[in-house]
Amino acid sequence: MAVTTQSRGQFKQRLGGLALAALLAALPLSARAAGDLTTGSVSGLPVPRFVSLKSDKVNVRGGPNQDQEVRWVYTRAGMPVEITAEFENWRRIRDWEGAEGWVYHSLLSGKRSAVVVPNLKDELVPLYESADMKSAVVAKLQGGVQGALQSCSGSWCEFRGKGFDGWIRQDRLWGAYPNEKVE
């Protein structure tokens, strides 16, 4: 990938309508916080929404068809991604590191998962025995640890993975929206 330096005006001119599309794509996140969800034109489900990768090999493309170049390949089933748009059988997704692209809908699962996100780079995030900071700490998890969301109350999530099972503050996970309840 080549990196070039350009003015904001040159950048907007080069992107044309894509700059507006990118701006509009970011709006549903703030809309979700305000309780104003859009509905996917194909699925009828909320957009944005969290899902997970169904397969150990998921091609991410530059656009919503198989003629578009494969930009990268995910190799980790169960990884959480956020659907930010729908077009026919394609879903635009964003991962926990902010990378975006298009994947075919059948490569996604409605199963909820999440990734641990510490406040500081090397911080270990506590996993508690129950949804109470006064309960015993059963594990300390590094950033990037992936697990399954069993449920979320809006402030705590029951979180399970290889070698751990407990409760974590919801704001320490990427894969559940603030105040979202997951059953």
Is 181 part of a structural domain of the chain?
A: no
What range defines the domain where residue 33 resides?
8-111
Once rounded to an integer, what is the mean pLDDT over residues 130-151? 97
Q: What is the 3-state secondary structure (H, E, C) of the chain?
A: CCCCCCCHHHHHHHHCHHHHHHHHHHHHHHHHHCCCCEECCCCCCEECEEEEECCCCEEEECCCCCCCCEEEEECCCCCEEEEEEEECCEEEEECCCCCEEEEEHHHEECCCEEEECCCCCCCCEEEECCCCCCCCEEEEECCCCEEEEEEECCCEEEEEECCEEEEEEHHHEECCCCCCCEC
- Same structural domain, 151 and 64: no
Once rounded to an integer, what is the mean pLDDT over residues 47-67? 97
Q: pLDDT tier at 58 (50, 70, 90 boundaries)?
A: very high
When the pLDDT of each residue in the chain is averaged and rounded to a whole number, the result is 84
Q: What is the pTM of this model?
A: 0.78
Q: Supply the pLDDT for residue 47.
A: 96
Once rounded to an integer, what is the mean pLDDT over residues 111-116? 98
Other beta carbons within 10 Å of 146: 20
Final residue in a domain of this structure, among 111, 133, 159: 111
Is 25 part of a structural domain of the chain?
A: yes
Give the tens place of pLDDT for each residue, 12-42: 333 333 332 333 333 334 334 445 568 888 8
